[in-house]
Chain A
Amino acid sequence: MKEQVVCKTSDLQPGEIRESFFGKQNIIICRTQNDNFYAFMNQCIHQGAPLGKSLLCGATTGESTPGDYHYCHKDEVIRCPWHGREFDMKNEGRMLANPDKKLVSFKVRIENEDVIVYK
């Protein structure tokens, strides 16, 4: 499986997640507010939660200091539906609390209205 059209861009709105298949692999497609598309395996690397039920949201950042929150990444963070672990879509799906760990990701490109996933 080199590449595959998994859906149309109009199948999901900005800030939404959609489940799909890339070959036999259950994946999620995420669309940010800036209309960037990302694809990841539909399984949290922690305990296997279905990421299709995640929330796309912002996150407090490491620039925060005690008593002073700094918030950004609007709709660019996947928050797991079980334990709430945060994964940065724009940074290869790396976990905010432990960037050595990252979601299994796939490449995505848009051609016309097609969302194409490839390795």
Chain B
Amino acid sequence: MAKKQIPLIDTDIHERVQYKDILEYLDEPFKHYMKNCHWIQEKHMPYTQPATAGVDRADAILPDGRPAGSDLAFMQEQLLDDVGHEFGILTGALDPSPSSMHGWYEMAAALATAYNDWQIEHWLEKDERLYGSVHIASQDRDEAVKEIERVGSHPKMVQILLPIDDIMWGDPYYHPIFEAAEKHDLMIGMHHNEPPVYYGKWPRYFIEWHTLIPTAHMKIIVNMIFNGVFDKFPKLGLMMIEGGFTHIPHLMWKMDQQFRDLRHEVPWLKRKPSEIMKEQVRITTQPAEELTKKEFMSLIDQMGTDEMLCFSTDYPHWDYDSPYRALPNMEPELKEKIFSENARAFYPKLPDKRED
């Protein structure tokens, strides 16, 4: 029996570039560094890989051995056609990952440009369901703004991707990035990054790091809200990707309570932090903590709105969430919001619902 299709707007899909594929999009001398000097982006996660195929689903590796997420046709068959996606938001690769480069800003900027061009040509213009993220070398703010100006008006670019790492993005130094985002109707998507989120170091075990990823998300939300980003840029939205969602009620309660005591320090806030979150911050669901229906509905109640959560699969990574199994059963109206309408309402550049 064929399974029921879900017209999903998937807010976290990882397409994957290979070094050899991005070469033709790189300017010199950066092409030279990659081709002749064999540059690769060094990563130093000191753990065993989490699952049987590295950080990928074992069944997402291509039959010819190419990495998971590197082939559109395979992704279409295994994910988009199989589930019935209406739209998917691409959130990028592991490495080379221009958004998460440390150091060597010139290479990072060149890589971001090359990556965006590759993404547009090979994904966004090849499947009408796929929408993209603008990658920027955001440590170099001015170069980042130039890149947003260059590709941000592409009709299928819906957000700017920033890493959750060791930069606190609410700092006014980065506000020109948000200004450029607003100008092009782009949202900000933030995804955690491989380097440490644990007092600047890796914890002893992967399971500690992976458990604590939501704390890195919380730091960013708190930082951006209290630095006044959302009041200064009222059209801006923030999608927090891949941190789970059960920390959200705690964060809203905590910030509101702190604000009642300490408002004098951040007088530029015009709204309660929880109101800012409800209006301008959205949360992807994966990796979904395994809640019962009662627990899940209680959590939605605690958030005070059912319009913040947006379903995400994280395909093709090992901790993929199945649209069929990751969340408890829920009423059709709520399911429609979480699986598509909340994301559609969030991203200004996503089309209205198709009338088939």
Instruction: Write the residues of chain A forming the contact surface with B, with a CB cutoff of 8 angstroms.
Output: 46-50, 53-55, 57, 79-84
Q: A54-B52, A84-B50 are in contact. Are A48 and B322 (CB under 8 A)?
A: yes
Could you say which of B53-61, B114-122, B173-181, B189-197 contacts chain A? B53-61
Determine the chain A residues whose CB is within 8 A of the CB of B53 once the complex forms.
Answer: 81
Determine the chain B residues whose CB is within 8 A of the CB of A81 once the complex forms.
Answer: 51-53, 57-59
- Asked whether B325 is an interface residue with its Cβ less than 8 Å from the other chain, the reply is yes
How many residue pairs bridge A and B at CB < 8 Å? 45
Tell me whether chain B's interface is mostly helix, strand or loop, or mixed. loop
A-B contacts, 11 listed (Cβ < 8 Å): A47-B320, A47-B322, A48-B324, A53-B59, A80-B52, A81-B51, A81-B53, A81-B59, A82-B319, A84-B50, A84-B318
- Closest B residue by C-beta to A55: B52
Instruction: Write the residues of chain B forming the contact surface with A, with a CB cutoff of 8 angstroms.
Output: 50-53, 57-59, 318-322, 324-326
Contact among A48, A55, A79, A82 with B57 in the assembled complex (CB-CB below 8 Å): A82
Report the bound CA distance from A80 to B319 in whole Å.
11
Assess the A84–B52 pair: CB atoms within 8 A: yes
Assess the A54–B322 pair: CB atoms within 8 A: no
Assess the A82–B320 pair: CB atoms within 8 A: yes
Determine the chain A residues whose CB is within 8 A of the CB of B324 once the complex forms.
Answer: 47-48
Determine the chain B residues whose CB is within 8 A of the CB of A46 once the complex forms.
Answer: 325
Determine the chain B residues whose CB is within 8 A of the CB of A53 once the complex forms.
Answer: 58-59
Tell me whether chain A's interface is mostly helix, strand or loop, or mixed. loop
Report the bound CA distance from A39 to B224 in whole Å.
53
Closest 6 pairs between A and B when the two form their complex, measured CB to CB: A81-B58, A84-B51, A53-B59, A47-B325, A55-B52, A47-B322
- Report B73 CB to chain A, min CB distance, Å: 19
- Closest A residue by C-beta to B317: A82
Determine the chain B residues whose CB is within 8 A of the CB of A48 once the complex forms.
Answer: 322, 324-325
* 10 new A-B contacts at CB < 8 Å, known A55-B52, A79-B51: A47-B324, A47-B325, A55-B58, A57-B52, A80-B51, A80-B52, A81-B58, A82-B57, A83-B319, A84-B51
Determine the chain B residues whose CB is within 8 A of the CB of A55 once the complex forms.
Answer: 52, 58
Report the bound CA distance from A49 to B321 in whole Å.
10
Q: Which of B51, B53, B321, B324 has the most A CB atoms < 10 Å from its CB?
A: B51
- Closest B residue by C-beta to A45: B325
Report the bound CA distance from A57 to B48 in whole Å.
15
- Closest B residue by C-beta to A57: B52
Determine the chain B residues whose CB is within 8 A of the CB of A57 once the complex forms.
Answer: 52
- Report A24 CB to chain B, min CB distance, Å: 10
Q: Which of B51, B53, B58, B59 has the most A CB atoms < 10 Å from its CB?
A: B58
- Report B135 CB to chain A, min CB distance, Å: 27
Report the bound CA distance from A83 to B58 in whole Å.
10
Determine the chain B residues whose CB is within 8 A of the CB of A47 once the complex forms.
Answer: 320-322, 324-326
Report the bound CA distance from A24 to B321 in whole Å.
26
Report the bound CA distance from A37 to B203 in whole Å.
40
Report the bound CA distance from A72 to B321 in whole Å.
30
Report the bound CA distance from A3 to B322 in whole Å.
32
- Report A27 CB to chain B, min CB distance, Å: 17
Q: Which of A50, A82, A83 has the most B CB atoms < 10 Å from its CB?
A: A82
- Report A81 CB to chain B, min CB distance, Å: 3
